[in-house]
Amino acid sequence: MVMKHGVGVDNIDLDAATSRGIVVANAPGTNCTAVAELAISLMLSLLRHICPANASTRSGKWERFMGRELGALTVGIVGTGHIGSAVAERLHGFGTSLIGVDVVQDDQLVSAYGMRYVSLHELLRTADLVTLHAPLIPETVGLIGDDELVLMKPSALLVNCARGELVDERALHAALAAGRIAGAAVDVFATEPPQDSPLLDFENVLATPHIAAYTHEAMEAMDRMCAETIVKVLIDRETPPNLLNPQVLRDDRT
């Protein structure tokens, strides 16, 4: 058995595991709050220039940084699954206008928070802030590239707390260098740690070391789900819903 202490399984060869009779499971839902809160923290940090204001004050200056309010903006959520939904729920409290993109549309988000589902291109053209919460699958690699970034407003911001490979980092670098977007917050990179990433050269890029899920509460929830899943599968001979290839157990137990 392979038990992922986390949610994303793009670093596990599921087909190879299945072909060898190895069951794979993850811990879905355990980090939703943590990731959603970091995403919104990054949004607020960019909008209110928290990092440069802190650096300026510590250097002895007393500069006034003009920011924007989340409630006055339109936020585009790319991927409205567990984490994207948690982001929408929290943004609704700010009074933010919400638009979303997902292959599966959530009617609850529409009715409860006024989410409006649009195409990716319309989202990019419309949103003041774009936040990524899509899974990394072959269809989403390079989801945000040159063609997509050129659609964004020059005043728009991009936040990525999902997977680094969703964004073409070369294209993002070019967009930032040309001033085609106003800034970005990046918690994930295609190569981690991103020691040679040119994105780190920009003052309007807020970079964090893949910490979105790192809260005491999220880690405890992951620990518990991992332990409980292992016991259910290997000792109790159950098939919990977080198995990613339950056919392995069905084949083994028939």
Residues annotated catalytic, as ranges: 163, 192, 210
What is the CB neighbour count within 10 angstroms for residue 246? Answer: 16
Bridge pairing between strands 129-132 and 74-78: parallel
**Tokens matching residue 64:** 């006034």
Report d(CA 110, CA 70) in Å as an integer. Answer: 19
Cβ proximity of 121 and 152 under 8 Å? no
* β-sheet bridge partners, residue 187: none
The residues near 6 (Cβ < 8 Å, ≥ 6 apart) are 26, 27, 31, 213, 222
User: 216 vs 67, 122, 213, CA distance in Å?
Assistant: 31, 37, 9
- Transcribe 71-133 into DSSP letters: GGSEEEEE--SHHHHHHHHHHHTTT-EEEEE-SS--HHHHHHH--EE--HHHHHHH-SEEEE-
What is the CB neighbour count within 10 angstroms for residue 223? Answer: 13
- Please state the φ and ψ torsions of residue 144, each to the nearest 5 degrees: -110, 105
Burial of 163 from C-beta contacts in 10 A (0-12 / 13-18 / 19+): buried
